[in-house]
Amino acid sequence: MASSSTVVCGVCESQHTTTEADVWCPECDEGLCFQCQKHHSASKATRAHGVIPVDNYKQLPQSIANISQHCTQHGRKFQNYCPQHESLCCPLCIQSNHASCVGILSLENVIQTAKTSVLLERLDQNLKDITMNIERVVKDRKQNLLKFIKKAEISR
């Protein structure tokens, strides 16, 4: 689990007030109370951040909760993925450590591709289920038709 203890609002804490967090912002890597979350979702700089309920954050495995969205070397947000080194990169990492790497990908594209892949898998499974149901219905109809024909022949 990420933590079973109380998560405090990072904004309130920076102002020397202890308030329990209601949501977690993975991009800011801090909890927010409802009051601060209102400002967070209204601010131009943070309105696109996706927040999750703090209870959901607490249920994350520690290995997931500890993943940082920011480069420890440069303090910038990860925006790219280097398939050559299998690592996340901030813009400064690309300039300094990955300038000669080929195939640097945008994280947005990687995420979108992963989401599309999952959706395609679900769609494929749904189509298989529908095909099985149709085959079952056709088989049942044939059996019913044969029974009906036999009953009709017997009653003649």
Question: Of 95, 60, 57, 63, which Cα lies nearest the Cα of 76?
Answer: 95
**Stretch 41-68: mean pLDDT, rounded?**
88
User: Do 12 and 31 form a contact (C-beta atoms < 8 A)?
Assistant: no
Q: Provide the sign of the torsion angle of the four alpha carbons 72, 73, 76, 80, taken in this order.
A: negative
**Stretch 102-116: mean pLDDT, rounded?**
86
Is the pLDDT confidence value at 63 over 50? yes
Please report, for the chain, the start and end positions of each structural domain, with discontinuous segments joined by +: 1-67, 72-103, 107-156
What confidence tier does 53 reach under pLDDT thresholds 50, 70, 90?
very high
User: What CATH class has 1-67?
Assistant: few secondary structures
